[in-house]
Amino acid sequence: MLYVALIGLSLIWGLSFVFIENLIGDVGVWGTVFLRCLTGAVTLTPLLLMRMIRKKVPRSLPWKSLIIIGIFNAGLPWGLIALSQTTITSNTAAVLNALTPILTGVIGFIIFSIILNKRQWGGIVLGFIGIMILMNFNVTQLHASNFVGVGTMVLATTCYGFASHFTRRYAKDVNVIVLTSFSLYVGACVGIVGVILTNYNVFAVMLNAVDITFVVSLIGLGCFGSGIAHLLYYYMINNRSAAFASTVTYLVPLTALLWGNILLGEPITKNLVMGLLTIFLGVFLANQKTKTNTGKELAKSGA
Predicted TM-score of the model (pTM): 0.81
For 137-195, write each residue's pLDDT tens digit: 655 544 455 677 888 999 999 998 898 889 888 888 888 889 989 999 999 999 999 99
Least confident among 58-72, 124-138, 178-192, 210-224: 124-138
Region 103-113: what's the mean pLDDT?
A: 83
Question: Within 10 A of 169 (CB to CB), how many other CB atoms are there?
Answer: 11
Three-state DSSP state, 88 = coil
Region 19-31: what's the mean pLDDT?
A: 90
How far is CA 114 from each of CA 20, 26, 72, 162, 297, rounded to the nearest angstrom? 34, 42, 20, 12, 8
In angstroms, the CA 229 to CA 11 distance is: 10
The answer to whether the CB of 202 falls within 8 A of the CB of 31 is yes
- pLDDT band (50, 70, 90) for residue 246: low
Comparing CA positions, the residue from 92, 160, 105 lying closest to residue 284 is 105
Comparing CA positions, the residue from 261, 257, 262, 263 lying closest to residue 277 is 257
The confidence score (pLDDT) of residue 140 equals 52
* Beta pairing partners, 292: 114
In angstroms, the CA 106 to CA 21 distance is: 29
- pLDDT band (50, 70, 90) for residue 247: low
The confidence score (pLDDT) of residue 297 equals 35
> Residue 65: pLDDT above 90?
yes
The confidence score (pLDDT) of residue 39 equals 94
Would you say the C-alpha torsion 123, 124, 129, 134 has a positive or negative sign?
positive
Region 17-23: what's the mean pLDDT?
A: 91
Q: What is the CA radius of gyration of the chain?
A: 19
Which residues does 116 contact at the CB level (< 8 Å), separation at least 6? 105, 108, 109, 124, 290
The confidence score (pLDDT) of residue 90 equals 85
Interior/surface letters 198-227, b for 16+ CB within 10 angstroms, e for the rest: eebebeeebeeeeeeebeebbebbbbbbbb
Q: Give percent above pLDDT 70 in the chain.
A: 84
First to last CA, the chain: 21
The confidence score (pLDDT) of residue 301 equals 35
Whole-number average pLDDT of the chain: 82
> Residue 278: pLDDT above 60?
yes
For the chain, give every domain's residue range: 2-292
The answer to whether the CB of 105 falls within 8 A of the CB of 301 is yes
101 Rama sector, left if φ>0, alpha if ψ -120 to 50, beta otherwise? alpha
Which is more confident, 211 or 135? Answer: 211
Element (H, E) at 175: none
Which is more confident, 291 or 222? Answer: 222
> Residue 303: pLDDT above 50?
no
